[in-house]
Amino acid sequence: MKTSVIMPAYRASAYIAQALRSALDELAPGDEVIVVDDASPDDIRAIVEQVDDPRIRYRRLPRNGGAAAARNAGLAMAGGDLIQFLDDDDLWVPGRQAVVLDLMAAPSVGVVSGWVEHFLSPDMPPEARQRYVLPPPQAAVLGGSTAIRRELLERVGDFDTGLVSGEFIDLASRLMATQAGWARSDALFLRRRIHGGNHTLSKAGHGAAYLAVVRAHLQRQRGLA
């Protein structure tokens, strides 16, 4: 089963090399990581070339469209049977891919998700670190903690580019509505970096976007009842 990992990248120069290596260390020779440069002002291409791995595919978009649009562009390029995601500042956990492939061996399973651990980036200033109280590791449905069969993604459609936040929650809600098999692992899949510039911590209006996503999810659930 070939895996395609899709990584939207924007202002990613500080962390993307580490993120890429964490995924590449898990992947087989025939897998791929698709880096979608979302018209970033920093030179992401140069960093990707320094990582120097033939499994990396790079595309730069002509204009900044946000994470949902970048993920859609990556999906259009993907050649894998299994689609996974990784943000440019987060880290996959060693051993993750073996767990995913083991669970995906069951034909009835369309989605696999695992646990997430948050961590404060070592480069965060001490005064900024004091603002955060991190939750313990927990089960979570995030882009970076989920693996999805491509055929299932094709059924539910692309990410909603009209959402400034919550686009993956919206996609997960649509996946749930298909009633496809969803395997929830107790293994740690993702380390989510907190550095003060995270999308959900910095973008104005994301609260309203999440509320819209929750409403849509509840409407889908009522339709299944």
**Phi and psi angles of residue 10, each rounded to the nearest 5 degrees, phi first:** -150, 125
pLDDT one digit per residue (tens) for the chain, 225 residues: 999 999 999 999 999 999 999 999 999 999 999 999 999 999 999 999 999 999 999 999 999 999 999 999 999 999 999 999 999 999 999 999 999 999 999 999 999 999 999 999 999 888 888 888 889 999 999 999 999 999 999 999 999 999 888 899 999 999 999 999 999 999 999 999 998 765 554 444 444 444 444 445 445 455 544
Question: What structural domains and CATH numbers belong to the chain?
Answer: 3-155+178-195 (3.90.550.10)
Helix H, strand E, coil C: the string for the chain is CCEEEEEEECCCCCCHHHHHHHHHCCCCCCCEEEEEECCCCCCHHHHHHHHCCCCEEEEECCCCCCHHHHHHHHHHHCCCCEEEECCCCCEECCCHHHHHHHHHCCCCEEEEEEEEEEEECCCCCHHHHCCCCCCCCEECCCHHHEEEEHHHHHHHCCCCCCCCCCHHHHHHHHHHHCCCEEEEEEEEEEEEEECCCCHHHHCCCHHHHHHHHHHHHHHHHHHHC
Query: Which one, of 81, 26, 79, 33, lies nearest residue 59 by Cα?
Result: 33
Name the DSSP letter for residue 196: S
Task: State pTM to two decimals.
Answer: 0.87
